[in-house]
Structure 1
Amino acid sequence: MPLSGEVCVVTGACGFLGGKLVRLLLEEEKLTEIRLLDKNIRPELIQSLEGCRGEAKLSVFEGDIRDSELLKSLCRGVSLVFHTASLIDVTGAIAYSKLHEVNVKGTQLLLEACMQENVASFIYTSSIEVAGPNHHGDPIINGNEDTEYLACLKFPYSQSKKEAERLCLNAQGEMLQNGGRLATCALRPMYIYGEGCRFTLGHMRDGIRNGDVLLRTSKPEAKVNPVYVGNVALAHLQAARALRDPEKRSVVGGNFYYISDDTPPVSYSDFNHAVLSPLGFSIQERPSLPFSILYIICFLMEVLKAVLYPILRFTPPLNRQLLIMLNTPFTFSYQKAKQDLGYAPRYDWAEARKRTTDWLASVLPRERERINAK
C-alpha cells in the first residue's frame, strides 16, 4: 500500500543506506514530509535531494540519537520511522559502552518517543551479524528465519545490534498515547555493498598499497551472499508499505526478515576482487598464512591489547571473531521477505556490480594520489 500523505523519519539519513533510502522515498512516494536525522548532516547530500523531492518537504534535524527531547520533537506528527542509524565496528575499536549507548539506548529512546508521539510504524535496520557466525564457525547454507543456530555472539557490535533488534520486536503492539498500537519489524541485510561503501573502499586502498594486489583474508569456499544497497533500500520501502496495509500489518509486525538478493554467493575476498578486477586489481591465490596460524596471532594480539590497555590503546586490524566471520560459509534466503513484504530485488548482479565498479573507478585516481603522496 503506497505511503501517500505520510510524514516519516529516517535516522542516519546521511549514511550509506540512509541516503539511498531517502532518495528512493522521494522518487517513489508522494510523502508530505521526510524528516532527516543525522549527527553529521552533509549539505551536499541534502542539496542533491532537492531535485527529486517533488512536493515533499525535507526537514533536517542534526543531533544525537541519545537526545530524548530531540527525538520527541522529531517524532511529533510522524506516522512512520525508519531507524537506520547505528555505530558500526567490526574490529573492536569502539568500547562496548559507547556501542550500547548509541545502538541500544538510542533505539530504546526512539521507541519511547514513538509511543509518546503516536507513531504507528517502526522499521529497524538490523544486521546479519545478529545471527552469527558463532565462535565455532558453524556454517549456514541458504538459511531462513526459522533456521535454528546457536549464535554465541562475541563481537560487541553484534551484541549491541541484537539487543536493539530485540527492543524493536518486543515493542510490537505497544499502546500509543492515542489508543493505537505500534507495529514494528526488523530487517537483517547481508553485507551491504554499492556506491559509497567504506569497507569496499578500504579494501581498494589496501590493494593500492600492495601494488594493486588485493589481500586474501577469506577462503574461496567461505561463501556469503552480499546484497546491493539499492535492494536493501527497496526492502525498507516494501516493509513500510506492508505495515501500512491493514491485512499485512498483523503478519509483518513483530517479525524480522533476512534481506539478500541475487548476487552470487562468494567469499568476502572474492567479492572485493569481483568489483575491483575491472580496474586492474588482482588477488592473492591464498591467505598469507594458514587459518590456524592467523587464529593464534589474533589471540596473542588480543591478549597484548588487554595487557597494554591501561597504558596504550590500540586496535589490531584482525581479531578472532572477524577472522571466523570472514571464513565461515553463511548464506540466507530472502523468500520470507518476498512472501510477506512483496520484496523482489530491483537490481540484478550485473547492474549492481557495474554501479559499484563505476563508483570505485571515479574515486580511484584521488585515492592513488593520496596514498602515493605519503
Structure 2
Amino acid sequence: MSLAGDVCVVTGACGFLGERLVRMLLEEERLSEIRLLDRNIRPDLTHALKDSLGETKLSVFEGDIRDSELLKRACRGASVVFHTASLIDVIGAIDPSELFGVNVKGTQLLLETCVQESVSSFIYTSSIEVAGPNVRGDPIIGGNEETQYVCCLKFPYSQSKKEAEQLCLRAHGEVLGNGARLATCVLRPMYIYGEGCRFTLGHMRDGIRNGDVLLRISRREAKVNPVYVGNAAFGHLQAARALKAPQRRAAVGGNFYYISDDTPPISYSDFNHAVLAPLGFGIQTRPVLPFPILYLMAFLMELLQAVLRPFLKFTPPMNRQLLVMLNTSFSFSYQKAHRDMGYTPRHDWEEARQRTTDWLASVLPRERERVSVK
C-alpha cells in the first residue's frame, strides 16, 4: 500500500535514523507533505532535501517534543507519525528526569495529540535494549517476538524506552477526534549502524588515540546482529504501509516487531573492526582485563558516581549494564516483520559494510586532525 497523498510527520527528523527515513520517504513515496520535527533543524539538511522534493511540500517544526502547541501544529491534518525522536544515553550522562521527560512524557503528549488531531497511524522507534540482556547475561540467539525472557531493566534509558513503548501499544485502538481509531506499531531495531553513526565514529576516535588499534570491549563469543540504517528505515516505511492497508492494519496494529537484517552475528568489538579494518585499523586480541574485574571496576565507579552526585557530576565511561550488554549474545530474527508487513532487508551485509567503511574513510582525515589537536 502506497502512502501517496499522505501528510507524514517525522520526529527526530535530523537524527541518524530520522534523516535516512525522510530521504527514503521522499525518494519512494509521492507524499503531499512531509513535516520535520526536531529540537534542532539543520539548515544543511533542509537545503539538501529540496532537490528531492518534487511535488512534496517540506515543512519545518523546530522545538521540544514536550511542547504541546508545537505538536498540535505539526500533527494537524497529518495521517501518519514516525516517532524516532529520543534521548539516547548508555553511560548515564543525562539526568534521568530529562530522559523520562523526553522519552516518556514527550511520547505521551505526542500520542494524545495524534488522538486529538485524528492522526490514524503511529510508528514508534523503540530499542533492542527494552528486551535486555538481563543482569545475569543470559543469552538469546535467534530470538523472536514470542521468546520468553526474564529481564529487570535497571538503566534509566532502557526503562524510559520500555515505558514509552508500553504507552504506544496501549494507545492502539483509541478513538480519534473524527471517530476513527488509532493504529500504533512499535519497532525494536537492533544496534543501528551505517553512515553517520556517532557510536562507530567514537570507536574510531578511540582507535586513533590508541595508535590505530581498536579497543576490545566485548568478547568474541558475545554475538549480536546489528542492523544497517537503510534497512531500519525501510522497516519503518513498511510498517506505515502495512498500517494503511486494511488487510494488514489489523495484524500489525498494536504489536511490536524486531527489525534486523542479514548482517552476520558478530560481537560489537569485532563489528567495529569489520568496518574499520579496510582503513588500516587493528584490534586488541582480548580485553584489557578479565570480565569479572571489569565488572567490579564498573560497580565501584557507579558507587563513586552516587557518592559524588550531590557535589559533582561524574559520568563513568562504563557501567555494569553496558558491560553486560556488550558481552552477551543477543540476537533476533526479523521473520515476523517479514510475514506481517512484508519487510525484507534492502541492503545486504557486503553493501552495508562498504557504505559504512566509505563514510568512515571520508571523515578519517578530519578525525585524525581533531584527535591530534587534543
Matches of 2:54 and 2:236 in 1, distance apart? 21
Instruction: Classify the secondary structure of the residue corresponding to 1:158.
Output: helix
- The match for 2:213 is 213
Instruction: Classify the secondary structure of the residue corresponding to 1:10.
Output: strand
- The match for 1:303 is 303
1:32 is the counterpart of 2:32: yes
Matches of 2:52 and 2:318 in 1, distance apart? 41
1:20 is the counterpart of 2:20: yes
- The match for 1:177 is 177
- The match for 2:267 is 267
Instruction: Classify the secondary structure of the residue corresponding to 2:59.
Output: strand
- The match for 2:145 is 145
Shift of 1:194: 0.2
Matches of 1:149 and 1:99 in 2, distance apart? 25
* Deviations 1:282-318, CA, capped at 9 Å, x for gaps: 0000000000000000111111111111111110100
Instruction: Classify the secondary structure of the residue corresponding to 2:257.
Output: strand
| Counterpart mapping for 1:57-72 below 5 A | 57-72=57-72
1:125 is the counterpart of 2:125: yes
Instruction: Classify the secondary structure of the residue corresponding to 2:180.
Output: coil
Matches of 1:348 and 1:48 in 2, distance apart? 26
Matching residue's letter, 1:280: G
Matches of 1:203 and 1:326 in 2, distance apart? 14
| Counterpart mapping for 1:202-351 below 5 A | 202-351=202-351
| Counterpart mapping for 1:111-122 below 5 A | 111-122=111-122
Matching residue's letter, 1:156: P
Matches of 1:310 and 1:157 in 2, distance apart? 21
Consecutive unaligned residues in structure 2, runs of 5 or more: none
Shift of 1:370: 1.1
Matches of 2:302 and 2:229 in 1, distance apart? 33
* Deviations 1:218-239, CA, capped at 9 Å, x for gaps: 0000000000000000000000
Matches of 2:32 and 2:42 in 1, distance apart? 22
Instruction: Classify the secondary structure of the residue corresponding to 2:233.
Output: helix
Matches of 1:243 and 1:134 in 2, distance apart? 32
The alignment's C-alpha RMSD in Å is 0.5
- Stretches of 4+ moved more than 6 A in 1? none
Matches of 2:113 and 2:119 in 1, distance apart? 8
* Deviations 1:41-85, CA, capped at 9 Å, x for gaps: 001111111111111000000010000111011110000000000
Normalised by the length of structure 1, the TM-score is 1.00
Matching residue's letter, 2:30: K
Shift of 1:139: 0.4
| Counterpart mapping for 1:6-17 below 5 A | 6-17=6-17
- The match for 2:80 is 80
1:161 is the counterpart of 2:131: no
Shift of 1:145: 0.1
Shift of 1:339: 0.2
Matches of 2:146 and 2:53 in 1, distance apart? 39
Matching residue's letter, 1:334: Y
* Deviations 1:1-25, CA, capped at 9 Å, x for gaps: 0001000100000000000000000
Matches of 1:151 and 1:57 in 2, distance apart? 44
Percent sequence identity is 77
Shift of 1:96: 1.2
Shift of 1:276: 0.3
Matches of 2:300 and 2:292 in 1, distance apart? 13
Matches of 1:137 and 1:216 in 2, distance apart? 18
* Deviations 1:120-157, CA, capped at 9 Å, x for gaps: 00000000000000111010000000000111011100
* Deviations 1:201-229, CA, capped at 9 Å, x for gaps: 00000000000000000000000000000
